[in-house]
Chains A and B, each alone.
Chain A
Amino acid sequence: MTYEQKNLRVVGTRPIRHDGPDKVTGRANYASDFTLPGMLWGRVLRSPHAHAKVLSINTDKARALPGVKAVITGADLPLPPPGVTQAGESAINTQHLAKNLLARDKVLYDGHPVAAVAAISEAVAREALGLIEIEYEVLPHVIDVDEAMKADAPLLHDDLFTEGVEPRPETPSNIAKRIVVSKGDIEKGFAEADIVIERTYTTKAVHQGYIEPQGCVANYAEDGQAMVWCSSQGQFVIRDLCITMLGMEASSLKVIPAEIGGGFGGKTTVYLEPLALMLSKASGRPVKMTMSRGEVLRATGPHSGSSMTARIGAMKDGTITSAEVVIKFQAGAFPGSPVGAAVMFCSAPYDIPNLSITGYDVVVNIAKVHAYRAPGAPNGAFAFETVLDELAHELKMDPIDFRAKNSAVEGSKSPYGPTYGPLGGIECLSSAKNHPHYKANLGPNQGRGVASGFWINIGGQSAATVVVNRDGTISLVEGCPDIGGSRASLAMMCAEVLGIAAEKVRPSIVDTTAIAFNDVTGGSRVTFATGMAVVQATEDAVRQMRERAAKMWDIEVDQVGWRDGAAQEMNGNRSLTISQIAQKAAKTGGQIMGHASINAAGAGPSLTTHLCDLEVDRETGKITILRYTAFQDAGKAVHPSYVEGQMQGGVVQGIGWALNEEYIHDENGRLENAGFLDYRMPVASDLPMIDAVIIEVPNPNHPFGVRGVGEAPIVPPLAAIANAIYDATGVRMRDLPFSPPKVLAALEAAEKTKANG
């Protein structure tokens, strides 16, 4: 039977999430909720300069302060052997990581750690930081990506030579890498086009904006065994990065996952944990460290600002013949921006015969960027989907019809290589076109924008254990932190296979010593990949229970079926429930536990189309979002509420990015808005209800047809909003964010142009 024909009783329903009550009552423990007896407080001293040589560090006075138990600097953290650790959507260069954890000869951004202390109280730790004497030689800095690419730009690393160009450059530069995706012959394609539009776009660095700042407690024992409590998107990647930094064995470090208060990709690496371990090792006491919001904004994340040019050509009938895109991303202080995803996916919803998309990864003097929800894709879509909108207008075609005409479908070759399996792009577009939202009337100064988006989704390594308890309940053991309702979805898939209620399955996310390695919660992979592991582990438990029933009935196991939470005799009417089997387990071969550890392949991309209505206040430039509807292919929505939640959350982050969020630096390269007052994420009253329409085009590679859903929804909003502003005002805005002063300036400039000509 295929998944589409299965008669599902749990998958697709909306039970209360298992972790919900603890979260709404405040019982759930987040990173900073842990304390240990004798615990010290650690704090980090950070660079006030965007770029400077560190001439000397003197920690004597800090060490002499009563109550200070340990002080560390870069000298205490030897560079690990070169290597790369995979962390979901980021590949982490271990030597760069060490230099990011504690600066050595140079500081590369405002907020770059230079030293850390552990003391008996936070107040003493703060005081100690003030006693550390550092001599800097301030160097010229560069933050803007286009500036950083210039030949005479201040150089961050004198050993950085651009990868991906032949021959290899002889001089170092800030351009870490060039990547190119191409197909066909773009100039031939442009020659075939009746209309070609080329535009340039810029976006500013933005932050993931998770509510919970990074925090951890580390305890390093005399025998070299250590523990870390922290909130992250993957306890295993935290462990692996820590042991690499400290030269420890994997079995010597237990990382215990706390509840996580948001991550969005940003919590797939380490900032504090290795420092806390080092301070604990040096002091012989447990050490707790937490970041302030200012530290979070200055020194974690952010996501790349970018500069992009997109040139797209189409024929009169609406066929896109060619596209050329150049995308430059800020990487932050070390190479490794997500420009590759922008390159591969900006055109991925469409089947375009001639393509050339080039990306540049450019180091600049801000914190090393880190994954942010569909890393890179929103930037690329912002450029691509607004040029598409301009083309549709020029061609006098409906923007949805124009997209549908060029949509990739099953069998189309993706820009990044593989041929697509079943794909929900057309379904999203037609659902949007037929939705009442698309036909609703608009008032004066109001406009509607359309944009689509693509996210690839990943599989990866996941393990699950299904423990059958004597009373028939199930303990589901897994290793992926729950950042979007995955406990509920995984328990539901387990319950579905067993034929019991979701409430009878209790999921827990365990430490690094209690289950096999799991990749991070990232890439929208958990419901897909861990879900697959859970299904296989549950099937393993069912197989064992059928065997036990066969033993109890003294028949062959192939005579025992499984239905509704019980073993069923096929040629008779005997049945044994889970608890009846479990209670006899001691006598039939020991306790029953199903297990699976897999590397899941076959993740299905998620396509999405968004409709946005907004109103522009022409006198103040302020934009109000009036209505927003997201259409997205989930494959199969295991728990529809959490799919809707992901769609709404992604849209809201996209709206914030479009309207107000941006890193603002002063002339010295210091972050001026390192707080939520001036780093303006949306508040609830800024937003209408975000309507979520789930489309289900099943992924054939998953037992229930699941695709990932978490990331795609942040991809279209930037373009949808830009397109809606045009619809409302006739003005094209191409530089994010669309904050009131910028919108007003653009409206006035357009008025002037109109008046003059």
Chain B
Amino acid sequence: MQYQSPASIDEAVAALASIGGARVLAGGTDLLVQLRSGAASPAAVIDIKNIAGLRTISETADGFRIGAAVSGAEITDHEALVRAWPGVTEAAGLIGSTQVQGRASLGGNVCNASPAADTTPALIAARAIAEIVGPGGKRSIPVEQIATGPGKTSLASGEIVVSFLLPKRPASSADAYLRLIPRTEMDIAVAGAAVSLTLAEDGTIADARVGIGAVAPTPLVLDASFLVGTTLDEAVLAKLAEAAGAAARPIDDKRGTIDYRRKVVGVLAKRAALIAYERAKGAR
């Protein structure tokens, strides 16, 4: 197996395109596990951690650009980003353990395409856009369009996700992400829910977006338009829980039953909405 560590995006794309079956290596916390277990045996791994642009977080007039290979620890250390996107950053901070945090990236989390990836629902709720570079040039797509099924993505051969764009935060706006795991860390979500809310002057919800995870082959966008105009009273929360459960298409497995996952994703959506709402009130 070959190992390459290109210094630029173009070199990385060229290497990926020229070696059949080559894989991108970011933090390696998914890929190395797959290599060790024999689940993957690519001809080459192309390490993207030495490409400068992929390792930085920058704040622009339009919001934040997070390099695809930035680690969880770097994300949760970025104060301005944490202030603007508490939900996305708490999702990134949940991955693994202290050791895993030093390596695990957003690009890896989204492109590994696990149904239970923690950051994807939060990025969905944030309306994140993925910037992709490949042999055919650049393109940008909403993050929910990357994963197409467990372990499957819409990326064409040779394509790399280079960064994620998070829009600028309006006033009175915040997000939150919650997942359920039987333990407190080093575990995989049984269900997850992210909610991003923007409040109007009068405290009613002006904009809402909800992403749910681990309850379908890919993380899903939940139609949460019914939240707009409300202040999250009991009835609305119950409706949100119900909608999340109804949108879920979970499986029965060793980690949870269909029935359990439907219920819990609803509970998490409700709780995440309340947290986001409180945060948004504080973010006036």
Interchain CB contact under 8 A, B183 and A678: no
| CB < 8 Å neighbour of A622 from B97, B180, B185, B254 | B180
Per-residue 0/1 for A348-367: is the Cβ within 8 Å of any B Cβ (1 yes, 0 no)? 00000000000000000000
| CB < 8 Å neighbour of A672 from B183, B187, B254, B267 | B254
Chain B min CB distance to A496 (Å): 41
Using CB atoms, name the residue of chain A closest to B260: A741
- Provide the bound-state CA to CA distance between A16 and B184, in Å: 32
Using CB atoms, name the residue of chain A closest to B264: A620
- B190: interface (CB < 8 Å): yes
A744 CB contacts on chain B under 8 angstroms = 260, 263-264
Query: Which of A336-344, A482-490, A528-536, A682-690 makes up part of the contact surface?
Result: A682-690
Chain A interface SS verdict (over half): loop
- Provide the bound-state CA to CA distance between A685 and B267, in Å: 23
Interchain CB contact under 8 A, A660 and B185: no
Interchain CB contact under 8 A, B260 and A678: no
Interchain CB contact under 8 A, B263 and A680: no
Chain B min CB distance to A43 (Å): 13
Interchain CB contact under 8 A, B185 and A620: no
Name, among B183, B185, B267, the residue most crowded by chain A CB atoms within 10 Å (CB to CB).
Answer: B183
A676 CB contacts on chain B under 8 angstroms = 186
- Provide the bound-state CA to CA distance between A678 and B188, in Å: 9
Interchain CB contact under 8 A, A686 and B190: no
Interchain CB contact under 8 A, A683 and B182: no
- B154: interface (CB < 8 Å): no
- B255: interface (CB < 8 Å): yes
Interface residues of B in 159-213 (CB under 8 A from A): 180, 182-188, 190
Interchain CB contact under 8 A, A682 and B255: no
Interchain CB contact under 8 A, A619 and B267: yes
A660 CB contacts on chain B under 8 angstroms = 182-183
- Provide the bound-state CA to CA distance between A741 and B258, in Å: 10
Interface residues of A in 642-663 (CB under 8 A from B): 659-660
B256 CB contacts on chain A under 8 angstroms = 740-741
- Provide the bound-state CA to CA distance between A741 and B263, in Å: 10
Sort chain A's interface into a size bin.
20 to 34
| CB < 8 Å neighbour of B254 from A678, A682, A686 | A678
- B157: interface (CB < 8 Å): no
- Provide the bound-state CA to CA distance between A739 and B264, in Å: 14
Chain A min CB distance to B131 (Å): 32
- B257: interface (CB < 8 Å): yes
| CB < 8 Å neighbour of A741 from B97, B184, B186, B257 | B257
Per-residue 0/1 for B241-284: is the Cβ within 8 Å of any A Cβ (1 yes, 0 no)? 00000000000001111001001100110000000000000000
A741 CB contacts on chain B under 8 angstroms = 256-257, 260
Interchain CB contact under 8 A, A683 and B184: yes
Interchain CB contact under 8 A, B255 and A678: yes
Using CB atoms, name the residue of chain A closest to B270: A619
Chain B min CB distance to A680 (Å): 6
B187 CB contacts on chain A under 8 angstroms = 677, 680
Using CB atoms, name the residue of chain A closest to B36: A292
- A664: interface (CB < 8 Å): yes
20 A-B pairs, CB-CB below 8 angstroms?
A: A619-B263, A619-B264, A620-B180, A620-B264, A620-B267, A620-B268, A676-B186, A677-B186, A683-B185, A683-B186, A685-B184, A739-B182, A740-B182, A740-B190, A740-B264, A741-B256, A741-B260, A744-B260, A744-B264, A745-B260
B positions within 8 Å CB-CB of A: 97, 180, 182-188, 190, 254-257, 260, 263-264, 267-268
With A620-B267, A660-B183, A740-B256 already in contact, 5 other A-B pairs whose C-beta atoms are closer than 8 Å: A621-B260, A680-B182, A682-B183, A686-B183, A740-B264
Q: Which 8 A-B pairs have the closest CB atoms?
A: A741-B260, A685-B184, A619-B267, A664-B254, A686-B184, A660-B182, A672-B254, A683-B186
